[in-house]
Amino acid sequence: MPLLVGEQLVEEDVTRVQAFLNKFCILKASSKVLCNQEIRSVGPNGLLYVGQREIGGTSPSDNVISVLGSEDATTCHIVVLQHSARRPVLQPRHRQA
């Protein structure tokens, strides 16, 4: 599976995280922005919560779901695939063995 950072194809093997972050500085900068964001509590209205071993989905035309979320992924991967209209459409959550 190809790995793209922005529009750039990553062709070499990624074996050292620090070297990877040095080459793609935008990832380090954007992760700092993400980590510094304020935590928001949301109520049940408009929320689709995806738990472990679940898959949740919505579409840009969905008038009910406005927030797609999960939490506490210390041993899991949370993946969000986004429609070109910039709304989340799929969030599978898988636990690492």
pLDDT at residue 91, as a whole number: 55
Instruction: Dihedral sign for Cα 83, 70, 54, 97, please.
Output: positive
pLDDT at residue 83, as a whole number: 59
- Reported as a pLDDT band with limits 50, 70 and 90, residue 95 is low
For residue 96 the two structure tokens come to 């690492």
**Cβ(79)–Cβ(56) under 8 Å?**
no
pLDDT at residue 67, as a whole number: 86
Over the stretch 31-56, which tens digit does the pLDDT of each residue have?
889 889 998 888 889 998 888 888 88
pLDDT at residue 36, as a whole number: 94
Judged against a pLDDT cut of 60, whether residue 2 lies above it is answered with yes
The count of other CB atoms within 10 Å of the CB of residue 56 is 19
Residue type, 43: G
Burial 9-20 (b: 16+ CB within 10 A, else e): eeeeeeeeeeeb
